[in-house]
Homo-oligomer: A and B are copies of this chain.
């Protein structure tokens, strides 16, 4: 079976508020949007941001935030971590941890999106990232 994730869908409360974070903060452009969902074409998968009541209806159960998961976005250099955290905060995010060197090396910080979904912004020199954003594990 392919080791494949096709979509990560995040439950959100306000589509415009969420789009501001992802479009102005990260600088990402939706590939599709309507009044309840936006999809971003990512590195081999889709990121979806969907009104939480619709997601809960689809899943047939209530959902909590902040959930027991974390997303990460890697940047090409240590010096880019803190400026991106600050740009994301200016676009509606909330910094959880400013840039610092973690025990395992590299550089990272954490920010919550407007719906309290956590992103780690990381520089990890051991993980290769190609021009299409495809990330390969390394130690």
Contacts and interface: CB of A to CB of B under 8 A. Distances in A.
Interface of A: 1-11, 26-29, 31-32, 39-47, 52, 55-56, 58-61, 63-74, 84, 96-97, 110, 115, 117-118, 120, 122, 124, 127, 129, 132-137, 139
Number of copies: 2
Contacts of A66: 59, 61, 63-64, 67
Contacts of A7: 70-72, 120, 135
A5 B68 contact: no
B122 A43 contact: no
Contact of A59 (B39, B63, B70, B74): B70
Given A67-B64, A135-B46, A118 B59 contact: yes
